[in-house]
A and B are shown apart, each in its own frame.
Chain A
């Protein structure tokens, strides 16, 4: 719990410490985190406007970082699907004279801008050793752990994207 002392200081009620509203002070950052997480419950009386504004700005910045990372993660190819080759026609830097149009034109060439990647095998075989050291190990087929991890990370990133407020998405997309 906190209470405001003046426009530059907050008191932490637990130990009576004076916390300056200085960005580089780690306890001040904790005050902002507590306002983000607990809202008015962490403050005696109303949260001063200046503090609420700073907390909102910090939360916005955190959401921008999380949303940017999540969209970058989702943009990666899906391991179980693989990736198709992409070929683009690009100018080579040479030009030739077109006698029909009487203009110089770029010489174009096909360039692979994205290489193809085969999908991973959906399952893998693992050798399992039982508790009995003299027993023969068995071979089991299990879901490919790389695909399992990929799917879990993608699901986590999608959750972040889904829970991100629209103003944050708009801000990131406009950057």
Chain B
């Protein structure tokens, strides 16, 4: 029996043309990759950002700082220094969502209106040595969104990748020892957001890296500051490789846990150690001592293991005693009344500490110690 089969005609030329799909360099590299690992490396999936709180979302210390001191940590992991002048403000601002970036916040560093000093200023984040060493002998790319206010007077906004072969402090701009850097000088943007990237071949001797923003001689501000002399920074990312990939969004909880390795507090999330205003007892340590103990003592365990044994400060949370004015103290209630007492804090390690108030003689038959605390293990 003969079976007759018919098949539709095929235009071989058309089929070949279909194979000529437009493929960019990245697409071809993906096709050439021989393993899923190679493909993943090309895409750069996950855990790319070496910076912590690059989205400026975590603000455990508060959302508005200045202008009383010249060096301080504002938003988590970001430290601001101004040389011999204090008239500057640091704030966490809300994204107005005009389409440039997706993160809900950005950081603003502002020369206070009316300020006439032209001193250097830097906003920087140091990266822990064990993370910095990942970049030894490799290219890194620093990317971020930025804009400057309409009253910005410095000729440029400077952005650096800064590093040192030792450990040490950043003295406003440069590491004090063994330092090297690569700089980007950005034109003022008149309140328009722009994205910038900076790629750097890191020396294989690097021990600690940092990223830095701000103004430095000879590009300093001039004259009397207007009300809009600021620079804004958003979505900062430092990653391995020569290409700036899209910003890696981490959840608030994830970012907070990363920040807590360097800073923790007992206060509720929107209560901060600022000024001498009343502070809530929410979250505070509240401990009853036994009547025959020598000290009224409380042991505290950190939520996250800290980078190293931190500096610990207790605060009296009583409504009339709160804030920095009552640092190093605790509220004690006993059968002889209530009062604020100095605490002694010791046994400090990366997982916890203890604080106590020596028992005040026979007057304390029953006693209770209450305090808030913060622990700082910044670089």
Which A residues fall within an 8 A CB radius of B?
Answer: 5-6, 8-9, 11-12, 15-20, 22-27, 65
- Determine whether the beta carbon of A24 is less than 8 Å from that of B327: no
Choose among B166, B345, B377 the residue that contacts A17 (Cβ–Cβ < 8 A): B345
The distance in angstroms between the C-alpha atoms of A26 and B312, with both chains bound, is: 12
In this assembly, does B77 line the interface, its C-beta being within 8 Å of a C-beta of chain A?
Answer: no
Choose among A6, A20, A27 the residue that contacts B349 (Cβ–Cβ < 8 A): A20
In this assembly, does B307 line the interface, its C-beta being within 8 Å of a C-beta of chain A?
Answer: yes
- Determine whether the beta carbon of B344 is less than 8 Å from that of A5: yes
From residue B48, how far is it (CB to closest CB) to chain A in Å? 26
- Determine whether the beta carbon of A26 is less than 8 Å from that of B378: yes
* A17, closest chain B residue (CB): B313
- Determine whether the beta carbon of A18 is less than 8 Å from that of B344: yes
Known interface pairs A16-B313, A22-B309, A24-B307; 5 further A-B residue pairs with C-beta atoms within 8 A, sorted by A's residue number:
A15-B328, A16-B329, A18-B346, A19-B311, A26-B169
* Given A15-B327, A15-B328, CB of A20 within 8 Å of CB of B344: no
B306-320 residues with Cβ-Cβ distance < 8 A to A are 307-314
18 A-B residue pairings within 8 Å (CB atoms): A5-B344, A5-B345, A11-B344, A15-B313, A16-B313, A16-B328, A16-B343, A17-B327, A17-B345, A18-B346, A18-B348, A18-B353, A19-B348, A20-B311, A20-B349, A25-B310, A26-B169, A27-B376
The distance in angstroms between the C-alpha atoms of A12 and B328, with both chains bound, is: 9
From residue A27, how far is it (CB to closest CB) to chain B in Å? 4
* A24, closest chain B residue (CB): B308
The distance in angstroms between the C-alpha atoms of A21 and B377, with both chains bound, is: 13
- Determine whether the beta carbon of A65 is less than 8 Å from that of B177: yes
Please list the 7 inter-chain residue pairs (A to B) with the smallest Cβ-Cβ separation, ordered nearest first: A16-B328, A18-B345, A24-B308, A20-B309, A15-B327, A22-B309, A20-B348
Choose among B169, B309, B313, B314 the residue that contacts A25 (Cβ–Cβ < 8 A): B309
The distance in angstroms between the C-alpha atoms of A23 and B347, with both chains bound, is: 15
The distance in angstroms between the C-alpha atoms of A12 and B327, with both chains bound, is: 11
* B348, closest chain A residue (CB): A20
The distance in angstroms between the C-alpha atoms of A11 and B345, with both chains bound, is: 8
The distance in angstroms between the C-alpha atoms of A27 and B313, with both chains bound, is: 12
From residue B64, how far is it (CB to closest CB) to chain A in Å? 21
The distance in angstroms between the C-alpha atoms of A22 and B377, with both chains bound, is: 10
In this assembly, does B324 line the interface, its C-beta being within 8 Å of a C-beta of chain A?
Answer: yes
In this assembly, does B219 line the interface, its C-beta being within 8 Å of a C-beta of chain A?
Answer: no
- Determine whether the beta carbon of A9 is less than 8 Å from that of B346: yes
Inside 8 A of A11's CB, which chain B residues have their CB?
328, 344-345
- Determine whether the beta carbon of A8 is less than 8 Å from that of B346: yes
In this assembly, does B342 line the interface, its C-beta being within 8 Å of a C-beta of chain A?
Answer: yes
Inside 8 A of A22's CB, which chain B residues have their CB?
308-309, 348
* Given A26-B378, A26-B379, A65-B177, CB of A17 within 8 Å of CB of B347: no
- Determine whether the beta carbon of A20 is less than 8 Å from that of B310: yes
- Determine whether the beta carbon of B377 is less than 8 Å from that of A25: yes
From residue A33, how far is it (CB to closest CB) to chain B in Å? 10
Inside 8 A of A23's CB, which chain B residues have their CB?
308
Inside 8 A of B377's CB, which chain A residues have their CB?
24-25
B359-374 residues with Cβ-Cβ distance < 8 A to A are none
* Given A16-B327, A17-B328, CB of A5 within 8 Å of CB of B346: yes
The distance in angstroms between the C-alpha atoms of A28 and B317, with both chains bound, is: 26
From residue A115, how far is it (CB to closest CB) to chain B in Å? 26
* Given A17-B312, A22-B308, A26-B379, CB of A9 within 8 Å of CB of B348: yes
